Structure 1
């Protein structure tokens, strides 16, 4: 197993270096909703297994979804986006926290079915995502939404994040295989909008329109440049746009060849 390890302390040492970054951290760390649950969990998170993930591990999961029930099931976009309170819903734990907790605790890239089972059977994952999702669905029932409607919207919401999680894992795995020591931690992702980094290059991954990140709430989120701009020494910023899926119900991965081009650009920037 790799000896590589990334901790929250590494993230804070690297990125909590501008006034905006310090404000973002203090606001998050002192939130009444999060400081006794989310904050200690995220600060204790260690990224280790992610550095063992190979591109083929993600590609295998992608290909399995051709034959098995995929993350969006038979839900159509209109039904998936019908319940507006779910379309823009964010639990106290960012989705990225749950995905990476499951990745690190199980030591494998989960299929959609494995991810759902972990959210139900693992007590911590259940508290992070399953229970808050059920609480919201229960709340929406008296407002006139049926259980089927809230189920479809919730699955659409979480399923699309699951596909984004696979796409981001794949980019990191291919770059690392290329010899680029890309690092990741969910604290950097959720708080400083850094989806991954290499040396002093902050990498942002977007799907489609770069103003709307998949790893944040719906709508425009602060960009890494806005939070980390003005640091000394300065950061470089690399934006990788992930194309939207061309086929329904499959994690559309960037080709290895295209990711290699991105890696070559990163390497040239350091010469």
Structure 2
């Protein structure tokens, strides 16, 4: 923690990356999470080796990448493989003697479409009146891959009993139906018992307000078209980058979200 703190005070040489070996040793799970939260607040990149479900859960919830090392007996070498999806993550957990319940330790789970949506909904949930200290991991469904034939929504219900989902509808107008791919994913989730909401507007980007956009980009149009192109550069937001959507969401107030269908759904989710 001292090194991470000094990284903010010492501008030369800068300290950008902090390597942690088994940060869970001799620390209660609650303190493990608090330690990682504090270190992340210092702005350093964290890379950790761990056998702790709590530490692994923290990285997953904060959009970190998870890798599994394994010694290959035949080739006499150590292989490093990324855990891309739920099935691989479950396999990884089993290999360190943990169960999915040990990992999430969550009150409920929210699924969103892609990785760029994770910080947006994390920001919205943090502002929601009904959050009240709940631990809510926001996880990605993997984008368009969820609409494929091999998508098995029941894997999610095996992970946690209280899972809801929010997806972009890709509607092109107020009276238009959602895109077929989005409706397919919604149907798959609901068959598995997962409540799924398709946005009334076209995409998550269409909920970002001009006021908040100006905080991040300085220049933004007076209004965002509710069914316009989610690439907001076409709507006048210069240098728009969807990877910065989380920053925009953090600049929004709850009253800018709460009266929308997203805000109503999130409050219902938190009170379920």
Shorter-chain TM-score above 0.5: no
Higher relative contact order (CA 8 A, sep 6+): 1
* TM-score, normalisation: structure 1: 0.30
More helix by share: 1
* TM-score, normalisation: structure 2: 0.30
More strand by share: 2
Structure showing greater Rg: 2
